[in-house]
Chains A and B, each alone.
Chain A
Amino acid sequence: MSMLQELNTIVESAGLPVETGVFSKAAPAEYVVITPISEHFELFVDNTPGMNIEETRLSLFSKWNYIQKKDLLIRMLLSAGFTITERRYIGREDDTGFHHAAIDVAHEYEQEEL
């Protein structure tokens, strides 16, 4: 399973609508957008990469108290083996009323042959 598939499953099972890249539907009062950040190869053997590390940002938007959902997401991500590289409250957007929090995650996958 790819990182994006895994993340989509986790966020959906936390009861939050989620899309990758941009939230194209009319936005509900609470939702998550997944933005891939980077992919890099580590651990080379015989000039071939053995491991792929992927990094992704989850942006949680909520018009209510966002803390419970944020904590739930973090618990689920950790128990699924993700590394949390950053948690940050970005702020409340006065024009839209959304609280915005960012959670950056990383996961290593064994590199399949290209």
Chain B
Amino acid sequence: MGKVKIEMPTQWLDTIAGMGNALDAAIPRALEAGGKVVLEKMKSNLRSAIGRGTKYKSRSTGKLAASLGVSPAKLNRENNLDVKVGFSENRGDVSNAMLANLLEYGKHGQTPKPFLKQTKSSSRKPCIEEMQRILKEELNLP
């Protein structure tokens, strides 16, 4: 499945680097708020992509849209905190990641409906702004 990353500007991170304990509590909250912004955008883009312009009547079950969610903030392999917006897997017959990939990139005879790339382009700015707003609020910054 395709993957996109949204990161906070380095200059901003440098200004808050020395804040210690308060920062440890504030970062997960900021990440979760940013994740929510991306999730909402992705949900609406996914809904508009599913069943649009199909050759035959859509047989969508709603399982893919329902499996979309955001993870809690956790440490990743590089020891950085992150949240992931994506699909949970327990669909059974086929994997949600495979279906999402088919929608995103299409195939011969099926046009691509790039909901993931659209989400990245349109939610990057609002996501960063929301994370900065929460951090400023939590750390009492001007």
Contacts and interface: CB of A to CB of B under 8 A. Distances in A.
B100 to A, nearest CB: 13
Interface residues of A, number: 21
Given A33-B112, A35-B106, A93-B107, 11 more contacts: A35-B111, A37-B121, A38-B122, A40-B121, A40-B122, A59-B106, A59-B112, A86-B2, A88-B105, A96-B107, A98-B107
B114 A37 contact: yes
B136 to A, nearest CB: 22
Interface of B: 2, 101, 105-109, 111-112, 114, 117-118, 121-122
Main secondary structure of the interface of A (DSSP, over half): strand
Nearest to B112: A35
Contacts of B109: 27, 96
A59 B117 contact: no
Contacts of A86: 2, 117
A96 to B, nearest CB: 5
